[in-house]
C-alpha cells in the first residue's frame, strides 16, 4: 500500500548533496537552541516558562519564516502530542490529547483573544488567522488556565501578530508550486515617534491536487502600537479573511481508488465560503505594582457551506453567521510578600447569530469514475436565530513561599446562555430525504443557561540550575454548540444537553535555559464526564445524551540539540491512549473499554537542519513526520496502518535582501490518508497529497 515509486526515490537523493559536506566541514561548537524562555498564553503577558505549570510549546517567528507553511499542519505537527491533518485548503482536523477530528475541544486565540464565539465553534478556526505571517504561535497542550474557559479542554492555540518594526521595513514574496499553487505575501512596517504601524497581506490560490478542489484566500492584517502618556500603550489589530474553496480534497474513496485513482473527487460540488472580520483594541496602563488591561473586540463571521461529509446521508446547504461584541478586562497586582501576583478579570461576549439550512436533492448521473453528480434545492429545514451571551469572572494567584517553588491557583466562573428563536414551525416534519420517510424535529423557542466553576492548582519546582518540574490539576469544560442544541435532526431531544467536564492531572520536567541541548517531558491523565453520545433504545428514535465517559492518558517529549555549529537536530514524540470508559449507544451496542477511532497511539517528528559555513546565509533541512496506526471504527475491527512523510526545504540569499527558496513535500511520494474511517464494513480513505514541489523568491528592504 505504501510503495515508494522511482520518482520519489530520485527526489530523496536530492538531499545527499545538501548534507554530505557536513562530514568534512562541520566544526564542534555549542550554539544555543532552546525551547521558549517566556510565554504569554497563560496570563496574557510574558512570564517565565520555567514557572508555568502547563505544557506549552512555542513556535518562533524565525521558524515560521523557514517553514513557510502552506497549511497549519506543517508547523503544528512538529510539536509533541499534536496532530493536525489537512482537509480542504487550510481546513484542519485537529487532535491534541484527543482523537483526530472536529470536536469543539480547542480554544483558538489571536493575541489572547478568542477568534470565534464559543457557541459557534468551527474546527477550521485556524484559517481565520494568517499563520504564514504570524509573529509566533503558542500551543498549550491540555486545558487552559483560569484565564481561558469554554472549549479549552484539549488545548489552546494562540497566534501572535507581529509587532511594528522600529524602523522602515518592507517585504514581498512570491511562491509557485504544483497544481498551480500561487501565493503572494507582502508586509510593510515602520515606527513614527510613538506610533508604530504594520500591514501584512496574504493572497493564495491553488487548483487543488484532486479533481475540482480549488482554493482561494485573501487575508489582510493591520496592527498599530501607540505609546500614550502616563505609561499607557494602545494596540489595535484588524484581521480580514475571505475564503472560497471547493471541498472535495477530503472526499473519501474506497481502498482500490485510494491506490489507483486518489485524485478522484466523489463530492465535486461541495464548497465552503467564509467571510470574517476580527478587530481588537487593547489598552494597557502600568502602575507601580500593577497592570490594567482593557481589550474590547468585535467579530463578524459568515460561513456558506455545502458539506461533502453529509452528501451520502443528509445532503444540505447551510449558512451560519454571527456578529460579536465583547471585552476582556484584566488587572494584575504584584506584592512584595513571597513574590505574590494577583490576576483578576472578567471576559464578556455578546454574539447574536443565525442558522439557515436547506435540503438538497442529490442524484448521480454516472456510476463509474469519474462520478458525476447533480443536485437541486429542496425545502427549508431550519431557520433560527440564537444569541450567545457570556460573563466569566476569574481570579488567579501566583506565589513563591520558598525561592525554588512557584504555586499557582485559579478559579473561573463561566455564566453563558443561548437565547433561541425558531423562525419555522416547531415539532416534527418530514426530513425531505429522497426515498426515506425519516422524521426530523425542530425545537420551540427556548433559552438555555449554563454555569460552571473551573478550579485549577499547580506548582513548579527548580530542582537544579537547569532543571525545573511542574505538577498541576485543572478542571475544564465545554457547552454544546448552538447547532448541537437546536439543529435537532432525527433525535428525540438535543435541547437539554449538559456541559462536558474534564479533569486533568499532568506533570513533567524541562530544561530552563538556552544551550546546546534543551528538552521537556510531560505525562497527563484526563477523564471527560458527561460526554455527548447518541443512544437508541429498541424500537425508538435516537436521542442525544450526556452519558459518555472517556479517558485520555499519554506521554509527550521534545528536544533540540546543536550537534555542531552548522548542524541542529530537533524532534518530538507523543504516546497516547484514548479509551471509552462508559459508552453505550444502544441496547445492543456497548463500546465501553474500546479504543476510540482516529486515535493513533504514536505521533512523532524530527528535523535535521544544516547551515553550512562554506555557504553563508543558506539553510537546508530534512523533516520526518509520523502518524501511527489507528482504528477506523469505534468497534476496533479495522485499522489504518498510519504513515511516514519526508519533507525537504532549502533557501539561500543570492544578494542582500533577496532570498530564493524551495521545498519538496512528501519527497518519497508516499500514499497516505489525511483521514480514514469505515463505511459499513468497507474502509474508506481521504488521500493525502503526493509529491509536491514549491519554489519562490523573497525580497526585503
Model confidence pLDDT, tens digit, residues 454-493: 999 999 999 998 899 999 999 999 999 999 999 999 898 9
- What is the reported pLDDT for 87? 87
Measured between alpha carbons, how far is 602 from 575 in angstroms, rounded to an integer?
5
Q: Which fold has domain 6-700?
A: Maltoporin; Chain A (2.40.170)
Burial class of 149 by CB neighbour count within 10 A (0 to 12, 13 to 18, 19+): buried
Give all strands (DSSP E) within 336-466, no chain letters.
Answer: 341-364, 373-399, 405-422, 427-430, 439-442, 446-464
pLDDT tens-place string over residues 573-610 = 999 999 999 999 988 889 999 999 999 999 999 999 99
Which of these, 533, 450, 457, 525, lies nearest to 491 by C-alpha position? 533
Is the pLDDT assigned to residue 422 strictly greater than 80?
yes
- What is the reported pLDDT for 2? 32
Mean pLDDT of 501-516: 92
Q: Which residue has the higher pLDDT, 268 or 331?
A: 331
Q: Which residue has the higher pLDDT, 26 or 36?
A: 36
Which of these, 410, 393, 67, 114, lies nearest to 239 by C-alpha position? 114
Look up residue 338 and give its three cell numbers: 513571597
Look up residue 365 and give its three cell numbers: 448521473
Q: What is the mean pLDDT of the chain?
A: 90
Quote the pTM value.
Answer: 0.92
Which of these, 233, 231, 267, lies nearest to 249 by C-alpha position? 267
Mean pLDDT of 176-204: 96
pLDDT tens-place string over residues 331-383 = 999 999 999 999 999 999 999 999 999 999 887 666 555 556 678 888 999 99
Mean pLDDT of 403-408: 95
Look up residue 188 and give its three cell numbers: 510593510
Is the pLDDT assigned to residue 409 strictly greater than 50?
yes
Helices in 26-123 by DSSP H: which ranges?
61-67, 73-76
Is the pLDDT assigned to residue 16 strictly greater than 80?
no
Angle at 451 between CA 449 and CA 456, to 5 degrees: 160
Reported as a pLDDT band with limits 50, 70 and 90, residue 26 is: very low
Look up residue 432 and give its three cell numbers: 425531505
Q: Which of 552-556, 642-646, 678-682 has the lowest mean pLDDT?
A: 678-682
- What is the reported pLDDT for 14? 34
Please report which helix (H) or strand (E) contains residue 486, including its range. Answer: helix 482-486
Measured between alpha carbons, how far is 239 from 241 in angstroms, rounded to an integer?
7
Reported as a pLDDT band with limits 50, 70 and 90, residue 30 is: very low
Asked if residues 171 and 184 have their Cβ atoms less than 8 Å apart, the reply is no
Domain ranges of the chain: 6-700
Q: Which of 49-53, 261-265, 309-313 has the lowest mean pLDDT?
A: 309-313
Measured between alpha carbons, how far is 35 from 38 in angstroms, rounded to an integer?
9
- What is the reported pLDDT for 3? 35
% pLDDT > 70, the chain: 93
Which of these, 47, 565, 642, 672, lies nearest to 334 by C-alpha position? 47
- What is the reported pLDDT for 437? 66
Reported as a pLDDT band with limits 50, 70 and 90, residue 54 is: very high
- What is the reported pLDDT for 514? 76
Asked if residues 320 and 363 have their Cβ atoms less than 8 Å apart, the reply is no
pLDDT tens-place string over residues 225-240 = 999 988 899 999 999 9
pLDDT tens-place string over residues 641-674 = 999 999 999 999 999 999 999 999 999 999 999 9
Inter-residue long-range contacts of 543-548, CB under 8 Å, 24+ positions, other chains counted:
543/491, 543/492, 543/493, 544/484, 544/491, 544/493, 544/494, 544/497, 545/497, 546/497, 546/498, 546/500, 547/582, 547/584, 548/580, 548/582, 548/583
pLDDT tens-place string over residues 134-146 = 999 999 999 999 9
Helices in 155-280 by DSSP H: which ranges?
255-260
- What is the reported pLDDT for 369? 53
Measured between alpha carbons, how far is 483 from 117 in angstroms, rounded to an integer?
13
- What is the reported pLDDT for 234? 96
Is the pLDDT assigned to residue 31 strictly greater than 60?
no
- What is the reported pLDDT for 70? 94
Amino acid at each position: 500500500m505504501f510503495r515508494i515509486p522511482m520518482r520519489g526515490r530520485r527526489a530523496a537523493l536530492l538531499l545527499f548533496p545538501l548534507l554530505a559536506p557536513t562530514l568534512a566541514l562541520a566544526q564542534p561548537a555549542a550554539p544555543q537552541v532552546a525551547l521558549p524562555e517566556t510565554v504569554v498564553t497563560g496570563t496574557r503577558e510574558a512570564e517565565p516558562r520555567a514557572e508555568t505549570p502547563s505544557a506549552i510549546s512555542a513556535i518562533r517567528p524565525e521558524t515560521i519564516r523557514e517553514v513557510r507553511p502552506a497549511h497549519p499542519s506543517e508547523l503544528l505537527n512538529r510539536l509533541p502530542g499534536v496532530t493536525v491533518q489537512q482537509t480542504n485548503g487550510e481546513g484542519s482536523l485537529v487532535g491534541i490529547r484527543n482523537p483526530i477530528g472536529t470536536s469543539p475541544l480547542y480554544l483558538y486565540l489571536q493575541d489572547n483573544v478568542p477568534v470565534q464565539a464559543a457557541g459557534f465553534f468551527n474546527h477550521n478556526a485556524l484559517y481565520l488567522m494568517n499563520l504564514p505571517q504570524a509573529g509566533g504561535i503558542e500551543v498549550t497542550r491540555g486545558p487552559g488556565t483560569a484565564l481561558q474557559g469554554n472549549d479549552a479542554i484539549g488545548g489552546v492555540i494562540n497566534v501572535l501578530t507581529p509587532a511594528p518594526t522600529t524602523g522602515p521595513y518592507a517585504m514581498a514574496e512570491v511562491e509557485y508550486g504544483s497544481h498551480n499553487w500561487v501565493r503572494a505575501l507582502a508586509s510593510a512596517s515602520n515606527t513614527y515617534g510613538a506610533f508604530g504601524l504594520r500591514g501584512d497581506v496574504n493572497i493564495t490560490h491553488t487548483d487543488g491536487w484532486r479533481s475540482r478542489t480549488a482554493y482561494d484566500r485573501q487575508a489582510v492584517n493591520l496592527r498599530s502600537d501607540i505609546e500614550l502618556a502616563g505609561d499607557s500603550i494602545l494596540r489595535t489589530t484588524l484581521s480580514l479573511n475571505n475564503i472560497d474553496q471547493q471541498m472535495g480534497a477530503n472526499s473519501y474513496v474506497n481502498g482500490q481508488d485510494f491506490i489507483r485513482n486518489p485524485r478522484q473527487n466523489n463530492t465535486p460540488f461541495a464548497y465552503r465560503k467564509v467571510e470574517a472580520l476580527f478587530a481588537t483594541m487593547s489598552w494597557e496602563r502600568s502602575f507601580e505594582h500593577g497592570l490594567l488591561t482593557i481589550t474590547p473586540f468585535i467579530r463578524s463571521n459568515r460561513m456558506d457551506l455545502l458539506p461533502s461529509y453529509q452528501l451520502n446521508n443528509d445532503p444540505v446547504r447551510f449558512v451560519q453567521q454571527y456578529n460579536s461584541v465583547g471585552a476582556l478586562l484584566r488587572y494584575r497586582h504584584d506584592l512584595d510578600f513571597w513574590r505574590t501576583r494577583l490576576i483578576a478579570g472578567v471576559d464578556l461576549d455578546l454574539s447574536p447569530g443565525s442558522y439557515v439550512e436547506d435540503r438538497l436533492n442529490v442524484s448521480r448521473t454516472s456510476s463509474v469514475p469519474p462520478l458525476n453528480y447533480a443536485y437541486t434545492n429542496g425545502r427549508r429545514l431550519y431557520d433560527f436565530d440564537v444569541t450567545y451571551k457570556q460573563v466569566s469572572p476569574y481570579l488567579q494567584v501566583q506565589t513563591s513561599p520558598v525561592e525554588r517553588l512557584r504555586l499557582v491557583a485559579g478559579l473561573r466562573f463561566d455564566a453563558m446562555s443561548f437565547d433561541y428563536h425558531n423562525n419555522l414551525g416547531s415539532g416534527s416534519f418530514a426530513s425531505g430525504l429522497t426515498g426515506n420517510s425519516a422524521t426530523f424535529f425542530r425545537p420551540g423557542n427556548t433559552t438555555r443557561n449554563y454555569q460552571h466553576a473551573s478550579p485549577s492548582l499547580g506548582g513548579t519546582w527548580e530542582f537544579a540550575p537547569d532543571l525545573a518540574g511542574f505538577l498541576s490539576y485543572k478542571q475544564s469544560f465545554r457547552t454544546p454548540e448552538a447547532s448541537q442544541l437546536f439543529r435537532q435532526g432525527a433525535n428525540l431531544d438535543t435541547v437539554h444537553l449538559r456541559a462536558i467536564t474534564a479533569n486533568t492531572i499532568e506533570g513533567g520536567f524541562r530544561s530552563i535555559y538556552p544551550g546546546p541541548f534543551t528538552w521537556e517531558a510531560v505525562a497527563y491523565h484526563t477523564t471527560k464526564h458527561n460526554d455527548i453520545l447518541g443512544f437508541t433504545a429498541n424500537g425508538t428514535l435516537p436521542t442525544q445524551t450526556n452519558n459518555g465517559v472517556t479517558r485520555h492518558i499519554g506521554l509527550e517529549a521534545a528536544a533540540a540539540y546543536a550537534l555542531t555549529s552548522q548542524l541542529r537536530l530537533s524532534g518530538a514524540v507523543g504516546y497516547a491512549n484514548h479509551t471509552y470508559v462508559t459508552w453505550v449507544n444502544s441496547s445492543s451496542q456497548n463500546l465501553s473499554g474500546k479504543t476510540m477511532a482516529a486515535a493513533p497511539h504514536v505521533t512523532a517528528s524530527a528535523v535535521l537542519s544544516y547551515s553550512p559555513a562554506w555557504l553563508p546565509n543558506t539553510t537546508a533541512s530534512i523533516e520526518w513526520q509520523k502518524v501511527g496506526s489507528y482504528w477506523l471504527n469505534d468497534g476496533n475491527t479495522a485499522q489504518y496502518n498510519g504513515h511516514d512523510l519526508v519533507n525537504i526545504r532549502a533557501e539561500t540569499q543570492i544578494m542582500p535582501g533577496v532570498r530564493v527558496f524551495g521545498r519538496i513535500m512528501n519527497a518519497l511520494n508516499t500514499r497516505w490518508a489525511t483521514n480514514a474511517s469505515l463505511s459499513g464494513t468497507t474502509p474508506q480513505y481521504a488521500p493525502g497529497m503526493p509529491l509536491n514541489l514549491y519554489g519562490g523568491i523573497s525580497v526585503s528592504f
